[in-house]
Chain A
Amino acid sequence: MAEEKDKKAYQKPLPSWDEESRPFWEATKRHELYVQRCRDCGFVQFQPRAVCVGCLSPNVQWVRSGGRGKIYTFTVTHQNPVRGFRESLPYVVAHVELEEGVKLLTNIVDCKPEEVKIGMPVEVVFADVTPEVTLVHFRPAR
């Protein structure tokens, strides 16, 4: 992908983070994916929060994901005027359901858009888009 050839040219929006989400983005830099589980009620949640939104307990535990899941649904986007994306058309946006039971939004990479299917097994691939930021992408499971 273009951004891997020239990281300085990366033009898509980058995530900002705060104290609630910092451990998540520090982990993706290490190429590790984390979700959260509540020590009190067992609720598994994503995106990360300082409290469990199953019971509002502060006893939230970071749980490393195996990085495997399946495509819950997806679309091949052919139009997006936002800089960075307009140069990447068409691209695949998907909700992936992790084996840990939560869904997250991502891009499906390393395959042709027309090969993407609902239910397809996928695995995480970490995209070091800038020296500071690593995004979570998925590709067909190998």
Chain B
Amino acid sequence: MSLKKKAAIVGVYEHPTRFAPSKTTYQIIAESAREALADAGLTIKDVDGLFNAGGGGLIGSLALADYLNLNPSYTDTTNYGGSSFVGHCAHAAAAIAAGLCNVALICYSATPVSTPMAGIGGGGGGGMVGDPSVPFEQPYGPTIINGYAMTAQLHMHEYGTTSEQLAEIAVTTRLHASLNPNAKYRDLITVEDVLKSRVISTPLHLLDCCVVSDGGGAVVMTSAERARDLRKKPIYVLGSGEAMRHAAAGHRDLLDIATNDSARQVYQRTGLTPKDIDMAMIYDSFTITVLMQLEALGFCKRGEGGAWVSGGRLRYDGEFPLNTDGGGLSSNHPGMRGIFLLIEATRQLRGEGGPRQAKKPLRTAIASGIGGILGYRHAAATVILSNE
């Protein structure tokens, strides 16, 4: 069964906060749910599907359903890191198509700035305390950043990718953040600024890394049929893909990222090719994360991403707008920002981007995330969305 146009995103809301010392994550979720449902023209009473990535309590969705006073008939607490919410979008479309729920609420919040270390796992290498891999990695000092850094180092070694090319991604993303009043960092930067920022883990500099912010958001989905009667233009899910990579029992290939599989799935399931995609929301935990996903999604050949991202191509007014909200690199990153990929793709496909609206006409957007850590273990989730 194809998921093509069976379900649609009908309401979105990105919480504007970047620092919320006086709010709980539950409050941020509730505020986001209220606004996303209002955006759709629905109410909390309509929600019968609850999708979140756990967090807060130990019992997945139960604590959140309790707080929101929801009695959902369908819940999904898939958590494979920041890309989870893109997976939730796919899972919600499947659940709606199968009749398991009618109105799905996907939601997220975290406050790592005002509550340091909240929700951060202990493993360092993308493993949690107790995971079987942890004793073989944690004693050697894995960090989130050094996993991505080892992947970047290998990409540079194999393909000649340069720090200047990676910096182009950070520079373009900051330009987009400068057009987003809610973005955490809005002052324009140059390639030289990125290269002169301190090295965190070779070859990645501070400005190759995402920001840390508080935040949250919500996405409301329903059937294509019901979506037609709601407030906003439906943004249809055309198809999805999901995949994982890990230590492979000692046989890992860091250049073969999970997005290679999620991309193949999404194109096969939609009948589309990279040429059919008008813009992209790509998880930007680090500059290298974007570069390797763009290659895996087929917008350029593997190893040619460095040259491809240069020259302004990715600007909101360029030929292939990317991360028009300012991304994790400049706007917000509470730890798992995949939900914002869906939210900004929806705003762009609706034409609600304001000053940062893509200049070219948009029919399709791809939202693709990497959760976990390139270099240790990670999960890719990809969806293609369309406004027609």
Residues of A within 8 A of B (CB): 12-17, 20-21, 35, 43-47, 49, 53-54, 72-80, 82, 85, 88, 91, 93-95, 101-107, 118, 129, 135
In the complex formed, the residue of B with least CB distance to A53 is B249
B136 cross-chain contacts in A, Cβ below 8 A: 15, 21, 46-47, 104-105
**Contact A77 to B139, CB < 8 A, known contacts A102-B250, A118-B154:** no
The answer to whether A46 and B138 touch across the interface, beta carbons within 8 angstroms, is no
The chain A residue sitting closest to B135, CB to CB, is A15
Inter-chain CB contacts under 8 Å: number? 115
B251 contact from A13, A75, A76, A102, Cβ within 8 A: A102
State whether A73 touches B139 (Cβ < 8 A): no
Q: Which residues of A contact B71 (CB under 8 A)?
A: none
Q: Known: A76-B201, A102-B251, A105-B125. Is A135-B150 also a contact (CB below 8 A)?
A: no
Q: Does B296 contact A (CB under 8 A)?
A: no
Contact A73:B135 (CB < 8 A) given known A80-B143, A82-B141, A102-B249? no
B188 is an interface residue with CB less than 8 A from chain A:
no
Chain A residues within an 8 Å CB radius of B202: 75-76, 78
**Cα distance, A131 to B189, chains bound together (Å):** 51
The dominant DSSP class at the A interface is: loop
Of residues 73 to 87 in B, which have CB atoms within 8 Å of A's CB atoms?
none
Of A12, A47, A73, A107, the residue contacting B150 (CB under 8 A) is A73
What is the minimal beta-carbon distance from B162 to any residue of chain A, in angstroms?
16
- The answer for the CA separation of A74 and B202 in the assembled complex, in Å, is 9
Residues on B with C-beta less than 8 A from A54 are: 249
Q: Which residues of B contact A103 (CB under 8 A)?
A: 247, 250-252
On whether A78 and B200 interact (CB within 8 A), knowing A14-B139, A15-B139, the answer reads yes
